[in-house]
Amino acid sequence: MERYEDWSAEELAMESSFIGWVLGLSDEDALFWENWLASHPQAHGRVEEARRLLLSFRETAGTEPSDEAEEADVRAVMRHIRRPAAFRRWFIRSAAALAIFAGAGTGVWYYLTRQTSTVTEWHTTTQVQQVTLPDQSVVTLSPNSHARYRDAPNGERVVEFSGEAFFKVTRNEHRPFVIYAGNMVTRVLGTSFWLRTKPQARTIELDVVTGKVAVYDRRNRRVAYQSMNEVTLLPNQRATYSTTTGDLKKGLVDNPVGEAAPSGQFRFTNTPIQLITAKLSKKYGIVIDLPDPLVGSCTFTGDLNDLSLYEQLDLICQSIHANYQIKQAQIVIRGQGCR
């Protein structure tokens, strides 16, 4: 770069990349300036002067911020910003109770909650309850479940959830549907899936039935910010989230459901295994891997209609002396091969 050639020492001392070099802030700047200096020997005097100017600004150490102060102040701020939200929730609940007592007091409730977004809550005890959200999404709550819905100011449809439920979310690309179950966050546009929080097992499970679902740990967003630890799921896949470690694992649902096929489709006579697995793969949308081509060329004869995927796999594997494993969200079949 030629532009520094006629710069004065003052101008050099004010230039960001020059400061970066002298104060040791950037290796990239150091490389540039050392090269530049080598090719501009006539500028040595000015560069040395500029360097000296910058090194003059040594402040004597003042009061330094302590880590304890930082921790205490950050916590104080977080407490402060959470308090008003909790108060609002409490306020809405009491206002709702008041309205019921008053019998005709619902108008008051709407008046009071008009400013904040409307929160709706459901609890189930022994019964299954089906609720329709304002966006026409349907949530079927199993017994002992709890859901709270609100329209977030940024347009998101937000549900806080615990228990077990089947979600059928109406597609809306402009308004993501976000479910918080503890620290596990599920983000979808329009899909259907099962969600179960299992406090005893300290896990949360999500089984996708249709569409695509993204799951991540709320706390992980802090580390990388861009959801690097996000898991994306397709139908018949399951995310298992550990509430203790925050780990997310991808696997398969207990009982994969396939597209309905005309009867008789799954009756085989001396059919190579790889053709059968390709057919199953297509039906369930699950990858079935046959790492050894010898296994793929084994043949199978039998009727696999009206069986679950795992029953079908059991029958196939028994007949060819192989076994299968579920790895991540794939099924891997291994065996000796056939003669």
What are the residues binding other proteins (CB under 8 A)?
6-11, 13-14, 16-17, 19, 23, 25, 42-46, 48-49, 52-60, 62-65, 69-70, 73-74, 76-78, 80-82, 152-154, 218-219, 221-222, 225-226
**At closest approach, how far in Å is the CB of 226 from other proteins?**
7
Quickly count: other Cβ atoms within 10 Å of residue 317's Cβ: 18
Q: Which are the contacts of 199, defined by CB distance < 8 A and separation ≥ 6?
A: 243
Helix (H, G, I), strand (E, B) or coil at 56: helix
**Nearest to other proteins of 82, 249 (CB atom):** 82
**Nearest to other proteins of 51, 238 (CB atom):** 51
**At closest approach, how far in Å is the CB of 17 from other proteins?**
7
User: How many angstroms separate the CA atoms of 143 and 163, rounded?
Assistant: 8
**Nearest to other proteins of 222, 339 (CB atom):** 222
**At closest approach, how far in Å is the CB of 186 from other proteins?**
16
Token pair, residue 243, equals: 């509430």
**At closest approach, how far in Å is the CB of 174 from other proteins?**
14
Do the strands 287-289 and 330-335 form a parallel or antiparallel pair, or are they unpaired? parallel
**At closest approach, how far in Å is the CB of 219 from other proteins?**
6
Sign of torsion over alpha carbons 37, 38, 40, 46: positive
**Nearest to other proteins of 97, 152 (CB atom):** 152
Sheet strand arrangement including 157-162: 119-123, 146-151, 157-162, 177-181, 184-188, 213-217, 231-233
- Residue 14 has φ and ψ, to the nearest 5°, of -100, -5
User: How many angstroms separate the CA atoms of 18 and 3, rounded?
Assistant: 13
**Nearest to other proteins of 17, 330 (CB atom):** 17
User: How many angstroms separate the CA atoms of 99 and 102, rounded?
Assistant: 5
Cβ(242)–Cβ(183) under 8 Å? no
**Nearest to other proteins of 141, 188 (CB atom):** 188
**At closest approach, how far in Å is the CB of 241 from other proteins?**
17
